[in-house]
Every structure is written in structure tokens, then in C-alpha cells.
Amino acid sequence: MSISATEVVLFGLTVIVPLMDASLLQFPSLCSQYYKLIAFISELRPDKILELQPTLLDMILSSVHLSLTK
């Protein structure tokens, strides 16, 4: 069984996303890299994004919503 790089990154998101709150997203470099990662994965493998656990997907969407409203 082989594991793709996308699966490794998505597993990493399960660790990173719950930590991303408004206080961390105030750091420009961290915020920029975080959103670049989300955008890259969404473009590269949108099918994998749709397969995420509902709670993780909600957290990702909430963090994107937060950035668009601040």
C-alpha cells in the first residue's frame, strides 16, 4: 500500500486546522502560507477535500470565512 503526498498533507491538516484561530491568523506570513496550502490542495485534489471529515471541512471553511470577513 502506498500513501500519496496529498494524503500526508491532508493528515497534517487534521493537526493544523484546529489550531488556526483568529489570533494565529493575525501573523501575515503564517496566514499567507496557510491559505496558500488550502488553495493548493483545493486546486490539486478537490475530490480529497470533499472526502474530509465534516468537522475538519467545517473548520477549514470557517477559517476561510474568517479571513474574508476581517
Cβ neighbours of residue 9 closer than 8 Å, sequence gap 6 or more: 37, 41
What pLDDT score was predicted for residue 9?
A: 87
* 53-62 pLDDT per residue, tens: 999 999 999 9
pLDDT digits (tens, 9 = 90+) for 6-56: 888 888 989 999 888 888 888 889 888 988 988 998 898 899 888 889 999
Residue 68 or 58, more confident: 58
Task: Provide the grid cell at 34.
Answer: 496557510
